[in-house]
Amino acid sequence: MSLSHLKKSGDAVFVDSSVTKANEIVTAWDGKDASNFSLIGVPLSKTSISHSGASFAPASIRKMLSSYSTYHIEDGIDLKTLRVTDFGDITMHVTDFEESRNRIKSTIAELLNQFKDTMPIILGGDHGISFPSIAAFTEARGKIGVIQFDAHHDLRNINDGGRSNGTPFRSLIDEGILNGEHLIQIGLRNFSNSAPYTEFGINHGVTIYTMRDVRELGIQKIIIDSLNRLSQEVDAIYISLDMDVLDQAFAPGCPAIGPGGMDSQTLIDGICYLASHPKVCGMDIVELDPTIDFRDMTSRIAAHVILNFLVEKVKLNR
């Protein structure tokens, strides 16, 4: 008698022979080779100003991939032959965040250097991780332009609380890693920022699109204008996606939610326009706290963001 009905705990409960689930194209790194697309988890959220469980997001986003298939019905693209290397998570120190940021930067830089063609999707974590992550990209991929989706500038001073999820872009600019003119912020919202930081941004050449701009100009024009300009000035473009750019009705699972934000389709459209540009070669997804979400709705959007990103890259390379 056989034991053919035994499966490893954790494997899919039901398998339809005609369906490929999105998690099936993700394979744990073997320590040697890596695909052109990769995942890196960065479970750090103790650097958040407010209470945050964003450190659980890498696991929840990965899990949500198993709720979706590889097939983009509208474009007729099936990702099932694609391979995404999952480099796993970078371990964070329990109490020493400088150490944690060093691990983030050095690990990502090392991976980018070892695997010149891989485009990592970095799963935060709070927005504080974008500082070491973008620093690593700069080191490995040259001059970087950043498209930041966010309700907030994240240009706070570091005196009042150290490097936190409110300071990554300030740190990048202050440290000379990112030129303010190469930072484009999309989705800024009323009553979610303060005048001194808007002024700091303007003074440093940061391009700012508020939600009113998104509603009036449309996401397509904003992205195309941004890509046109940035692509002439930088070597590579990095997407930094703070999930709180979305309206609370669409993404309830972020620490700093509110009304007046983007709907999820607009975000997905924006990601697609971006991903279809060859210089866009990395992305982080941050500020997603699964412990306060409802039915993993916010992680589900993150999974769709990743899959749409991959589809556009596949279309680009056809």
Asked if 145 and 182 touch (Cβ cutoff 8 Å), the reply is: yes
Asked if 192 and 261 touch (Cβ cutoff 8 Å), the reply is: no
Residue 203 within binding range of a second copy, rule CB under 8 A: no
**Under rule CB under 8 A, how many of the chain's residues touch a second copy?**
113
How far is Cα 300 from Cα 133, in angstroms, rounded to an integer? 23
Residue 166 within binding range of a second copy, rule CB under 8 A: yes
Q: Which residues contact 188 (CB under 8 A, 6 or more apart)?
A: 150, 151, 152, 153, 208, 209, 210, 211
Residue 85 within binding range of a second copy, rule CB under 8 A: no
- Residue 30 binding partner per list a second copy, Ca ion, none, with a CB distance cut-off of 5 to 8 Å that depends on partner kind: none
For the beta carbon of residue 28, count every other beta carbon within 10 angstroms: 10
Residue 97 within binding range of a second copy, rule CB under 8 A: yes
Angle 17-18-23 from CA coordinates, rounded to 5°: 85
- Residue 127 binding partner per list Ca ion, a second copy, none, with a CB distance cut-off of 5 to 8 Å that depends on partner kind: Ca ion
Residue 83 within binding range of a second copy, rule CB under 8 A: no
- Residue 249 binding partner per list a second copy, Ca ion, none, with a CB distance cut-off of 5 to 8 Å that depends on partner kind: a second copy
For the beta carbon of residue 180, count every other beta carbon within 10 angstroms: 18
| Residue 154 among known ligand-binding residues | yes
Residue 231 within binding range of a second copy, rule CB under 8 A: no
Residue 207 within binding range of a second copy, rule CB under 8 A: no
What is the DSSP secondary structure assignment for residue 251, as one 8-state letter?
Answer: -
| Residue 75 among known ligand-binding residues | no
Phi, psi of 39 (to 5 degrees): -120, 140
Rank residues 234 and 272 by Cβ distance to a second copy and give the closer one: 272
Q: What is the DSSP string of 265-276?
A: HHHHHHHHHHHT
Instruction: Write down the least CB distance from residue 167 to Ca ion, Å.
Output: 10
> CA-CA distances (angstroms) from residue 185 to 90, 181, 216, 288?
27, 11, 16, 18
Of 277-316, binders to a second copy (CB under 8 A) are 291-292, 294-295, 297, 300-301, 303-304, 307-308, 311
Alpha carbon of residue 194 to chain centroid = 24
| Residue 51 among known ligand-binding residues | no
Residue 106 within binding range of a second copy, rule CB under 8 A: yes
Residue 116 within binding range of a second copy, rule CB under 8 A: no
| Residue 152 among known ligand-binding residues | yes
- Residue 222 binding partner per list a second copy, Ca ion, none, with a CB distance cut-off of 5 to 8 Å that depends on partner kind: none
Residue 173 within binding range of a second copy, rule CB under 8 A: no
User: Which amino acid does the sequence have at 3?
Assistant: L
Rank residues 152 and 156 by Cβ distance to Ca ion and give the closer one: 152
- Residue 106 binding partner per list Ca ion, a second copy, none, with a CB distance cut-off of 5 to 8 Å that depends on partner kind: a second copy
Beta bridge partners of 188: 210
Return residues touching Ca ion (CB under 5 A): 127, 150-152, 154, 242, 244
Instruction: Write down the least CB distance from residue 61 to a second copy, Å.
Output: 10
- Residue 105 binding partner per list Ca ion, a second copy, none, with a CB distance cut-off of 5 to 8 Å that depends on partner kind: none
| Residue 89 among known ligand-binding residues | no
Contacting residue, 149, 250, 273, 309, with a second copy by CB under 8 A: 250
Q: What is the DSSP string of 159-178?
A: TTTSS-TT-HHHHHHHTTSS
Asked if 164 and 48 touch (Cβ cutoff 8 Å), the reply is: yes
* Short-list 182, 174, 276, 177, CA closest to 220: 276
Contacting residue, 174, 181, 198, 204, with a second copy by CB under 8 A: 198
Binding residues: 127, 150, 152, 154, 242, 244
Binding residues for Mn(2+): 127, 150, 152, 154, 242, 244
